[in-house]
Amino acid sequence: MAGVELRGLEKFSKKVDKMVQRTTNQAPAFKVIGQQGLADVLKHFRDESGPNGKWAPLKSRDGKILQDTGRLRGGTKAFTMPDRTILINNVAYGSYHQDGKGVPQRKFLWISDKAFDLMEKTLLRYFIQGK
């Protein structure tokens, strides 16, 4: 009678067990994802751009848009929880620029497609490899 011998099944089973454990402890991956998201938002300040292109230019003066004091850029933070990361800006006037309330809308708190792809790869790599 012919048969099939499976070798290394125990090793494979241990790897699967580790992947399952990582699904219940996602915080390490979300910490990295938060750093990636924050880096992406800070890039928007450097590029002076929103999801639809360049921010509206300044009317009254020259200089870097939304970066006169650096307070708005510096007020952007990433907070990691066990199952997610939140990006916020704690500067009171930030929402006026983000939403265009009485000033030209200049979205700064958004995530690019490139960053989303990187975050997705980070999460998959964490579940599969633990890195």
The encoded tokens of residue 3 equal 């048969």
HSE-CB of 81 using CA atoms within 13 angstroms: 5
Range of the domain at 41: 21-52+63-129
Task: Determine, yes or no, domain membership for 58.
Answer: no
Write phi, then psi, for 128 (nearest 5 degrees): -85, -45
- pLDDT, one tens digit per residue, over 105-130 is 999 999 999 999 999 999 888 888 87
Structure confidence at residue 85 (pLDDT): 92
User: 94 in a domain, yes or no?
Assistant: yes
Give me the number of domains the chain comprises. Answer: 1
Q: Do the domain assignments include residue 96?
A: yes
Q: For residue 95, what pLDDT is reported?
A: 95
Amino acid at 50: G
State both tokens at 111.
């995530």
Q: What is the reported pTM?
A: 0.82
In a domain? residue 57? no
For residue 128, give the 3-state DSSP assignment.
Answer: helix
Scan for tokens 């499976």, then name that residue: 6
Q: Indicate whether 32 belongs to any domain.
A: yes
pLDDT tens digits along 73-117: 999 999 998 888 999 999 999 999 999 998 999 999 999 999 999
